[in-house]
Amino acid sequence: MRGRIKVVFCLIVGLILAGTAGVFAQSPYAGETITVAVHAVPHATAVYNFQDQFLEETGIKVKVIEMTADVMYEKYMTEFIGGTGAYDVVQMNPQWLADTSPYLAPLKPLADKEGLDFKLDDLVPKFRDLYCSWLGVWYGMPWDGDVHLLYYRKDIFDKLGIEVPKTWKEYRDTASFLNGWDWDDDGEIEYGCTEYLKKDRMYWWFLDRFACYGGVYFDEDMNPLINTKSGMMALKNMVECLPYMPPGSLGWSYMEVRTALVKGDAAMGKQWTCAHIS
């Protein structure tokens, strides 16, 4: 299927297409191979889990290309602008839709043509509308509903009589108190908090703070509002929390943060909802 320039932005290709496999089972696409570009494992696991089922039910092989978060946008845009047709299906961040939508295939014409029901009413409206469409055009399905939660060591908080922080100042102060000593009696020094600070996605941890301080991206005339009181307060708190994180945290991404939380090396941390899955 290399001849296409348009690609399908479908964030959970296995579930979506395998779930409608009866429509395609006798299609002329049997024997074809589609290339799916996806964030590296663990995210790619969802695609691998449905490869065999998808092949059995549609006759279409799935070639998976894994990428790290820091290169996805650049690779996608290079291929899209060049019209190479390197990818048939892509997983990507929804904030890229303004840039990528000219190169994506809208899904409604496909759904109408093939009589597919994507169960859009089953999706949380905010995720369905904000994550999957641009300027009213539907381009994809959500991989998950990305939200950040505060994970913390409830046993340690209870033992020490610590209240769960409700503000970023309390978060900083709690991290300071729990940093640099063996609060779980395992013979090792623990840290106050952990966050994803690798350059590719650290801005989301900044935005958690920015939004809490009342920040918005732009004013009505689209002038950027990052260099404002809200932005400065968010950045100040982020910098103040850094000394209470494990060494090397400026290079940490999803797996390092998750590992620190699971192993109990850090007392708390903001992370995506999938972090608790073992």
In a domain, 186, yes or no: yes
pLDDT at 179 over 60: yes
Q: Are residues 246 and 267 in the same domain?
A: yes
- Which residues partner with 150 through β-bridges? 270
Write out pLDDT tens, residues 37-49: 999 877 889 899 9
In a domain, 1, yes or no: no
pLDDT at 210 over 70: yes
State the pLDDT confidence band at 6, using cuts at 50, 70 and 90: low
Answer for the pair 196, 254: CB distance below 8 angstroms, yes or no: yes
Q: Which residues contact 203 (CB under 8 A, 6 or more apart)?
A: none
pLDDT of residue 89: 96
Q: Are residues 125 and 159 in the same domain?
A: no
Look at residues 116, 138, 160 and tell me which one is the last residue of a structural domain: 138
Q: Are residues 160 and 269 in the same domain?
A: yes
Q: Are residues 228 and 117 in the same domain?
A: no
pLDDT at 120 over 50: yes
Instruction: For residue 171, give the nearest of 111, 99, 118, 241 by alpha carbon.
Output: 241
The boundaries of the domain holding residue 48 are 8-138
**What is the CB neighbour count within 10 angstroms for residue 167?**
10
pLDDT at 1 over 70: no
pLDDT at 234 over 80: yes
Q: Which two tokens stand for residue 118?
A: 């994507």
Q: Are residues 134 and 152 in the same domain?
A: no
Distance between CA atoms of residues 69 and 223, nearest Å: 28
Per the prediction, the chain carries an average pLDDT of: 89
Answer for the pair 241, 173: CB distance below 8 angstroms, yes or no: no
Q: What is the DSSP string of 62-88?
A: EEEEEE-HHHHHHHHHHHHHHT----S
Look at residues 111, 138, 165 and tell me which one is the last residue of a structural domain: 138
Write out pLDDT tens, residues 146-163: 789 999 999 999 999 999
Q: Which residue has the higher pLDDT, 119 or 10?
A: 119
Distance between CA atoms of residues 268 and 261, nearest Å: 7
Distance between CA atoms of residues 62 and 1, nearest Å: 11
pLDDT of residue 20: 44
CATH number at residue 103: 3.40.190.10
In a domain, 222, yes or no: yes
The number of folded domains in the chain is: 2
Look at residues 120, 138, 156 and tell me which one is the last residue of a structural domain: 138
